[in-house]
Amino acid sequence: MADKHPYVQGPGALAQVITQFRKSFPAKVDASTLKKLGIAPNNESYVLNVVRFLGLIDQEGKKTPDATKTFNLHDDAQFSKAFAGLVSKAYSELFDLHVDSAWELDNPALISFFRTHDETTAVVGKLQASTFKGLAAYAGHGDIPVAKPTSPKGKAKSSKQPAKTATAAAPATPVRPPADAKLPNTSGSVGLTVRIEINLPADGDQATYDRIFKSIRGNLLNG
């Protein structure tokens, strides 16, 4: 059985390395190179396995002639066509079985192939399928994943939004009806409720309170 198909933990690492290599492909690629480029921190070996599996570097990490020829192509369409040749060659067992339809296989079909071929677990099979899908995208079959830029140390953006200054609402001022206000006739079909707020003077005596309530009865309640 051939070597097991490699995988990466997420499509972001593939996007970073392919984007970088299209800009500038180092003569030699190893873990130190990826660390300097900020690609796949602590997961450099996974990326190197994929790059080597595609035939972009040899066992010593040196860039191959096929890699030079492919990654020097500036036109996206030409690059995709050449890169597709590298992918189909590396995944020869998959393409021998499904021919060109291998590009369009869904995740369950890919996972089934990798698990059967490599005798891997469900988790690894899923990662192998995801890795193939990511490579297929650069070969012109699928959406290319977005390469997230590496944030400079100590300059991480805070997810907290600036606190908004709350404006205190002015307290509502009670509206008091005039002393001679009369309640409307509520005998019709429309009902109306009027709320009356009375502020009694704190220093008033009993006679003062009596006059106030007498005025209310005479002008409001019995009007």
pLDDT tens by residue, 21-54: 999 999 999 999 999 999 989 889 999 999 999 9
What local confidence, expressed as pLDDT, does residue 57 receive?
96
Amino acid, single-letter form, for residue 57: I
Give the pLDDT mean for 107-126. 95
SS3 41: coil
209's tokens = 């309170």
Q: What is the pTM of this model?
A: 0.64
Q: How confident is the model at residue 78 (pLDDT cuts 50, 70, 90)?
A: very high
SS3 122: helix
Could you tell me which residues are beta bridge partners of residue 121? none
Distance in angstroms (rounded) separating the CA atoms of residues 2 and 189: 91
DSSP letter, residue 101: G
Please report, for the chain, the start and end positions of each structural domain, with discontinuous segments joined by +.
11-138, 174-223
Alpha helices, H only, the chain: 11-23, 31-37, 44-53, 65-71, 76-90, 92-98, 107-118, 122-138, 206-216
Distance in angstroms (rounded) separating the CA atoms of residues 116 and 99: 18
What local confidence, expressed as pLDDT, does residue 35 receive?
94
CA 223 to chain centre: 69
Count of beta carbons in the 10 Å neighbourhood of residue 30? 14
Count of beta carbons in the 10 Å neighbourhood of residue 142? 14
Contact criterion met (CB below 8 Å) for 111 and 122: yes
Distance in angstroms (rounded) separating the CA atoms of residues 109 and 127: 13
49: exposed, middle or buried (Cβ count in 10 Å: 0-12, 13-18, 19+) = middle
What local confidence, expressed as pLDDT, does residue 152 receive?
43
CA 153 to chain centre: 21
pLDDT for residue 134 is more than 80: yes
9 vs 124: which has the higher pLDDT: 124
Average pLDDT, the chain: 81
pLDDT for residue 219 is more than 50: yes
Which of 4-8, 33-37, 62-66, 151-155 shows the lowest mean pLDDT across its residues?
151-155
By percentage, how much of the chain surpasses pLDDT 70?
70
